[in-house]
Amino acid sequence: MSLRSPLSRVLNHGTARSGVSHWRSQRVSATALVPLSAWVVISLLALPTRNYALVSAWIASGLHPVLLALTILLAAWHAWLGLAVVIEDYVEQSLPKLLLLLLNAFANGLLAASGVYAVLRIALRSVA
């Protein structure tokens, strides 16, 4: 049973029923990114040189492709959620806001797909 009046529901007043899940997703992805982002940055900076052979070998070795793909997916998810809040806060007119929110979703989706594809291609090439 809802305690909201029919009028308030029609006018879209009150809760959108998605606030907590957005908030929680941002915290879950943040928590996972604490170890993952530190691992990626430290590992890449620690490589003695960043030439093609060494970088490909690092990406392809052991569980690195799995963790790297996971890091990319979580980073894009986290960026999507975070930028959505920024857009919702600072863009006031509804059409630009809608377009930017769509662009945000599509851009981060494209980044996630491209990143996972690149990691898999590097990893599988060295197996074959």
Partner 1 sequence: MSPHLTVYRWAYTMTLSILHRVSGIALFMALIGMIFWLMAAASGQAAYTEAMRTFASGPGKCLAAVALLALCFHFFNGLRHLAWDLGWGFERAQARRSALMVLVATLLAAVVCFYFLFRNGTGPT
Smallest separation (angstroms) from partner 1 to the CB of 13: 18
Smallest separation (angstroms) from partner 1 to the CB of 72: 7
Smallest separation (angstroms) from partner 1 to the CB of 97: 12
Compute the distance between CA of residue 91 and CA of residue 119 in angstroms, rounded to an integer.
Answer: 35
Whether the CA torsion 90, 95, 96, 97 is positive or negative: it is positive
Compute the distance between CA of residue 80 and CA of residue 103 in angstroms, rounded to an integer.
Answer: 10
Q: Tell me the DSSP string of 16-38.
A: -S-HHHHHHHHHHHHHHHHHHHH
Binding site for partner 1 (CB under 8 A): 27, 30-31, 34, 37-38, 41, 45-46, 49-52, 55-56, 59, 72, 75-76, 79, 82-83, 86, 89-90, 92, 108, 111, 114-115, 117-119, 121-122
Residue with Cβ nearer partner 1 (6 or 92): 92
